[in-house]
Amino acid sequence: MTSNQIIDGFVLEFPIWSLFLLFILLAIAATGFATITSWWKLRHIPAASFWAPFTRLWIARITFSGKQYWKHREWHQKYGPLVRIGPQEVVTDSPAILRQINAINPSYNRGTYYKAGRFNPYHDNLFTTIEADAHSKARARSSAAYSGRETPGLEQRIDEQISTMMQLIRTKYAWSSAAKGDLQLLDLGHITNFFATDVISRIGFGYAIGYLQDDKDHYDFLGSIKRLWPYMSTIADLPWARAIFFSPLFLTLFGPKPTDRHGFGALMGVAAQLIRERMDSREGGQGDMLESLLNRNFSEEECESEGLLILLAGVESTACALRTIWTHVITSPRVYSGLKSEIDDATRNARVSTPITYAEGTQLSYLRAVVYEGIRMRPPLLGLFPKVVPSPGAWFEGHFFPAGTLLCANLSALLQSPELFGRDAQCFRPERFTELPDEQRKEMERNIELVFGHGQWMCAGKNIAFMEMFKTTFELFRNFDVEIAFPFTPCKTESYGVFLDSQLFVRVCLNI
C-alpha cells in the first residue's frame, strides 16, 4: 500500500467534522498551555482580581465604567507595591521603581499601549515612538520646540490667552455691585478646555483658534473628544483591540480626516492648512513650535503628526490640572484665604508683574504649594504607561520579572500614599509643603512630578504645563472671587484615562 493510499484512507475514515473537532481541541489545548505558562511566570505577584492572570477584559471593564481613578487607588492598599493586573502587566506605586524603568536607559522600551495615541496612519509621533533609541533621537529633534529654547515668545503667547480668558470672565460672567440683570454661571469644565486649546494652537502654530474669543467649541472638537475618551481608553487596555482600531488600515478607512467638517478631523484640517501655508511661505520670525520643527527639517507629514499630539495631549491634561487646583482652592476656605492673602501681599508690594511671570510665580511659596498639592490630589492623566522588562529579566522588591513583563505606573495610588505624603494624604493641605525643610519639600515635589514621566520618557511639555498652572491660578484669584454654584451637586466626574468633569458651575465676582 502506497503512502498516498494510506493518507486517502485516513481522510475517508475520519469525516471532516472530526478533523474540525480535532482542530478545536488542539486550539483549546494551545490556549490552555499559553494561559498556564503566562500565569506561572508571574505567579508570585499578588493579583488585583482572580481574572488578572488570564485576561485583560476585567481591567478594560473598569476603564469603561468611568471609575478608573477610584478603583486604581485601592490596589496597593490591599496588595503592596507590586500588583498583577494582566497576563503580562504588573502595576506599581513605587517612585523608586518608576524612576528606574523610566531612567535614561535604552534597555526599557515602551509597551504597545502607547500606540493608542496614534491618529496618523503612516507616521508616529513622540508619544507613539516606543523603541528607546528611536525615541531619544526623536526627542532630541523636537526638544527645543517644547523647552522654549527656540520659542522665545512662549510665555508672552500664554499671557495673551490669559488676558483673553480674564476679559471673557469679566465681561460675561463676573458679578459686581454695578451689574444689572442676570449674569451667567461659569462652567470651569468649558473655560479650562477653551483656554488650553487656544494656548496650544497659539504656541504650536502661531494661531489661536478662538475658543475663548467666541466662548464656543469650534468644530465640536472638545465635544467629540469627550465622547471618544471612554472608547479610546478602553481600547488602549486591550492589545488585540489596539491592533485593530489603531492599525494603518483602520485609521485610513475610518479614522479622523482633515476633510472632516466636525470633530478631531476638522482640527486636523486646520493644523494641516497652517503647516502647509507656513512651508509654502517659509516666513520666519514666528517663534512658535512649528517654526522650531521646520528649522530642524521636519517634513510636512511629521509636523502634522506632531501637531496632533500637541493638540490632544496638551489640552485635556492641562485643563484637568487647572480644574483640580481651582476646585480644591474654592472648596477649602482656609486655603482660599491663604492664597488670596499671598496674592494681595505680592501685588501690593510690587513683587509681581501684571500678568505675573512664571519665574515670579515659582517664588511664591503658598502658590507653589497650592499648585503641587492640586496636582497631587488628582493626576492630569491616568494611563498605565507600561515599560517592557528587557532580557534577561529584572529584580524589583525581591521579585524576579521575566523579560517581556509590562511594568505599569499607578499614579492614582502613588499620589495618595501616606508613606510619601503623610497620614492625611487624602486631604487637600498645601501646608504639607511649606512646613517642611527645603530638601524634604523638594523630594515631595519630585515624587509629584512623576505624573509627567521621568528621565528619557519625561513629558516634553512639562514646562509649558507648569507655566500655565502657576500663571492662570494667580491671575484668576487676583482678579476674581470664585465660589461653587451648587454645593450639594458641584459637578459630575468620570475618569477614562483623563477626568471628564461636567456641570462644574461657579459664581464669579469682581475682586474690587
What is the domain partition of the chain in residue ranges? 1-41, 42-510
Instruction: Find the helix packing angle between 365-377 and 333-348, rounded to 10°.
Output: 150
Is residue 448 predicted with pLDDT exceeding 90? yes
Is residue 222 predicted with pLDDT exceeding 80? yes
Beta pairing partners, 396: 399
Rounded average pLDDT over 96-109: 89
- Which residue has cell 509627567? 452
The model's pLDDT over 469-501, given as tens digits with 9 standing for 90+, comes to 999 999 999 999 999 999 999 999 999 999 999
Give the chain's length.
Answer: 512
Rounded average pLDDT over 350-359: 96
User: Could you tell me the strand order of the sheet in which 82-84 lies?
Assistant: 82-84, 89-92, 406-409, 387-388, 109-110
The architecture that CATH gives domain 42-510 is Orthogonal Bundle (1.10)
Name which of 141-155, 160-174, 368-382 the model is least confident about: 141-155
pLDDT of res. 356: 98
Distance CA 107, CA 157 (A): 39
The model's pLDDT over 51-95, given as tens digits with 9 standing for 90+, comes to 999 999 999 999 999 999 999 999 999 999 999 999 999 999 999
Sort 247 into a burial class: Cβ within 10 Å, 0-12 / 13-18 / 19+.
middle
Which grid cell is 89?
502587566
Instruction: Judge whether 66 and 497 are in contact, CB under 8 Å.
Output: no
Is residue 272 predicted with pLDDT exceeding 80? yes
The model's pLDDT over 340-352, given as tens digits with 9 standing for 90+, comes to 999 999 999 999 9
Q: Which residue has the higher pLDDT, 290 or 371?
A: 371
Rounded average pLDDT over 248-261: 88
- Sign of torsion over alpha carbons 437, 439, 443, 449: positive
Q: pLDDT tier at 306 (50, 70, 90 boundaries)? A: confident
Whether residue 392 is preceded by a cis peptide bond, meaning omega within 30 degrees of 0, is: yes
Q: What is the Cα 60 distance to its own chain's centre?
A: 18
Which pTM does this prediction carry?
0.91
Rounded average pLDDT over 124-131: 89
Distance CA 482, CA 187 (A): 12
pLDDT of res. 257: 87
pLDDT of res. 32: 65
Count how many Cα atoms sit within 13 Å of the Cα of residue 478 in the half-sphere of its side chain: 23
DSSP 398-461: TEEE-TT-EEEE-HHHHTT-HHHH-TTTTS--THHHHTS-HHHHHHHHHHHGGGG--GGG--TT
Question: Within a 10 A sphere around the Cβ of 157, how many other Cβ atoms?
Answer: 20
Instruction: Judge whether 165 and 479 are in contact, CB under 8 Å.
Output: no
Residue of 85, 91, 92, 90 lying closest to 54 (CA atoms): 85
Q: What is the Cα 66 distance to its own chain's centre?
A: 16
Distance CA 192, CA 218 (A): 15
Instruction: Judge whether 130 and 172 are in contact, CB under 8 Å.
Output: no
Residue 509 φ then ψ, to 5°: -125, 145
Is residue 304 predicted with pLDDT exceeding 70? yes
